[in-house]
């Protein structure tokens, strides 16, 4: 009977140690899960802030203001633009086919533009 009690006590102690070990591992995994979820929330907030910043930086009014202020750019006005019509036998500026090919119906309404350059 003493041997059986000793074996049962050994099994009981082993089970108790395994239970403590498994609970410790479960707590460590749970803590790691909480950290990962916290990091995911932080990354989501940062992602949303970056998207908002990108939206703000991509606004046309901001791009226009930076171009005018930093790059000293000015809008092109009709007075500063010279439109040159291509001769009737020359290919268009788009590099289209041969001159013997008839132009599409829309091109017949507006003459092709060979070059556009800014006049100062």
pLDDT for position 106 = 46
Distance CA 33, CA 50 (A): 25
Distance CA 32, CA 37 (A): 9
Write down the residue that tokens 């140690």 correspond to. 17
pLDDT for position 119 = 52
| Structural contact between residues 92 and 111, judged by C-beta atoms closer than 8 angstroms | no
The residue ranges of every structural domain in the chain are 2-60, 76-118
Q: Which residue has the higher pLDDT, 90 or 52?
A: 52
Two tokens at 88? 């009737």
pLDDT, tens only, 32-70: 999 999 999 999 999 999 999 999 988 989 888 999 999
Mean pLDDT in residue range 87-93: 69
Distance CA 52, CA 64 (A): 19
pLDDT, tens only, 5-40: 999 999 999 999 999 999 999 999 999 999 999 999
Nearest to 110 by CA among 77, 78, 83, 81: 83
pLDDT for position 80 = 83
Q: How confident is the model at residue 2 (pLDDT cuts 50, 70, 90)?
A: very high
Asked if pLDDT for residue 117 goes beyond 80, the answer is no
Instruction: Name, in order, each residue with C-beta under 8 angstroms of 85's C-beta and a sequence gap of 6 or more.
Output: 111, 112, 113, 114
């Amino acid at each position: 009977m003493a041997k059986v009690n000793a074996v049962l006590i050994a099994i009981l102690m082993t089970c108790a140690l395994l239970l403590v070990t498994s609970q410790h591992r479960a707590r460590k995994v749970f803590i790691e899960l909480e950290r990962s979820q916290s990091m995911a929330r932080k990354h989501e907030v940062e992602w949303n802030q970056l998207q908002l910043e990108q939206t703000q930086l991509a606004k046309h009014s901001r791009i226009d203001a930076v171009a005018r202020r930093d790059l000293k750019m000015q809008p092109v006005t009709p007075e500063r633009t010279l439109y040159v019509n291509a001769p009737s036998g020359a290919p268009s500026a788009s590099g289209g086919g041969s001159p013997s090919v008839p132009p599409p119906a829309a091109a017949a309404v507006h003459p092709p533009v060979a070059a556009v350059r800014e006049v100062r």
